Amino acid sequence: MAFYRIYRPQRIEEIDNAHVRDQLYSLLSKKRSELPHAFFFSGPKGTGKTTAARLIAKLFLCEKLDKTGPCGTCAACTSVAGGSALDVIEIDAASNRGIDEIRALKDGIGLAPSMGDFKVYIIDEVHMLTNEAFNALLKTLEEPPTHAVFVLATTDPQKVPSTILSRCVHIKFARAGKKELVTVIQRIAKKEKLTFTDEIIDLIANVADGSFRDAVKLLEQVSFSKPSATIDEVRALLSVSDQSTKELFLTALLEKNAKEALSIINRLTREGADIKQFTTDVLYSFEEQLVTIASDGASDTMWKQEALLFMIDELLHAYSTFRYTPILSLSLEVAVVNICVSKSALPVVSQQPMQHIVTDAQKNPPQIAQVLVVPPNTSVKSLGLLTHERLVEHWSDVIAAAKPLNHSIAGVLRSSRPHSVESGVVTIEAFYPFHQEKLSEPNVRFMLSNLMKQLFGEKVTVEIVLGKK
């Protein structure tokens, strides 16, 4: 049996996420009949949402509930853990998105529980439900029978209507910290009598990328190797590139050496390395440097903030397209070419080996330049195809169309709204100065103008104003 099934927490005290553990413990101060009827769990994959949802089910069904929580050993608890509890209904919204499934839930919710006093409905990836399904679910949440309890879980809470969220107790699941992951790995390794060096355990925790589930799965994968496996053998097993490869890649970006950077990607692909993980490793290096600059105002760095933000944006866009491309390495290669051939000038690295991303400063680095030359705004005659009402109605389509082109701008658009459409001028209202500045960049306004022409068939100019929240 897989490690993650054997070692899935069965009691509240076994949860490694301290914040979630404390939240669940706080529920024990009330009687079952006084507890909320709906819970909303949000957070990245592998952070324990499904595990906590089943513990909520045990909390309502356990036959020996005490001050420490569900016992984990009674018939009700073991049936929940084994997935055979008749009064726990789990729905995967990712594969059951339609209104028919929610209507079936609504039709059956009035039936009394089979054994205890409650029926628990766990809906995983709830953000995948259709609008019609959400509306049907909302009516059920507004007037549920006294025996019905809901646990809604999602990795994308922004896609869940606020009307649904407002009827639930919201518990947020943060990415696991490295210390928490190391603790989990060491505990399971000890029970399995596995002896790995601290360096290997650190590597597993790093590759797990904040996911408890991934950490346990990776440990199991490594457990099949020989007990005396070296760090290089484990790195090869997990398809992880070594530090020197990452440093060579970063140096190639610094020197705007597209040939070398593409050669490294090609070699990693041939060796079966995880390109997605490699991109993540590079982004971690960028993040560390960005935090250093922002926190300390450090000027003695090889990377300048404007250029760093440009490269982060390129790699994040590459990462966001991995799921769509038939050639995984292509997204990263496109990002490399964009970085190396753009007019955004980067400092030139010295010939000395690059041991750390933070090194000696380069004097007077050029500022990042606009990649796209945009003609000056000119008045545009309105055809009447695009109105304010129509833009508001299809604002989500504008955001969706912008995401493949520039995912960070799409994120800013989510926090903005159409203000007006008059005489061929679309005015977008931003609510933060930074967002206004970002959307006001000429190349961004030009991109949005093109998008609206494609979507609505009318050429417009785009203006950005700062509104009140």
| 93 belongs to a structural domain | yes
Please answer whether residues 171 and 39 qualify as being in contact, where contact means their C-beta atoms are separated by less than 8 angstroms.
yes
One domain, residues 113 and 183 = no
More confident residue, 448 or 298: 448
Domain finish residue from 284, 312, 341: 341
One domain, residues 275 and 414 = no
Residues in a beta bridge with 422: 425
Is residue 241 over pLDDT 80? no
One domain, residues 165 and 55 = yes
| 437 belongs to a structural domain | yes
One domain, residues 201 and 148 = no
One domain, residues 13 and 125 = yes
Q: CA–CA separation, 154 vs 45, rounded Å? A: 9
CATH of the domain at 217: 1.10.8
One domain, residues 233 and 249 = no
| 86 belongs to a structural domain | yes
Report how many domains make up the chain. Answer: 4
Place of tokens 């190639």: 252
One domain, residues 161 and 253 = no
369 φ, ψ (degrees, to nearest 5): -105, 160
Domain finish residue from 214, 237, 260: 237
Q: CA–CA separation, 203 vs 206, rounded Å? A: 5
One domain, residues 117 and 47 = yes
More confident residue, 380 or 31: 31
Place of tokens 């490594």: 222
| 346 belongs to a structural domain | no
One domain, residues 253 and 286 = yes
DSSP string, 368-380: PPPSS--PPP---
Tens of pLDDT, residues 416-466 = 999 999 888 999 999 888 888 889 888 888 889 888 887 887 788 899 999
CATH of the domain at 335: 1.20.272.10
| 392 belongs to a structural domain | yes
Lowest mean pLDDT among 124-138, 141-155, 301-315: 301-315
| 52 belongs to a structural domain | yes
Domain finish residue from 125, 142, 172: 172
Residue 18 CB neighbours (<10 A): 11
Tens of pLDDT, residues 75-86 = 999 999 999 999
Residues in a beta bridge with 123: 91, 152
Q: What is the pLDDT of residue 325?
A: 77
| 89 belongs to a structural domain | yes
| 355 belongs to a structural domain | no
One domain, residues 45 and 151 = yes
Q: CA–CA separation, 313 vs 408, rounded Å? A: 7
CATH of the domain at 457: 3.30.300.180
One domain, residues 89 and 149 = yes
Distance in angstroms between the alpha carbons of the first and the last residue of the chain:
52
Domain that holds residue 261: 243-341
One domain, residues 37 and 146 = yes
Please answer whether residues 235 and 200 qualify as being in contact, where contact means their C-beta atoms are separated by less than 8 angstroms.
no
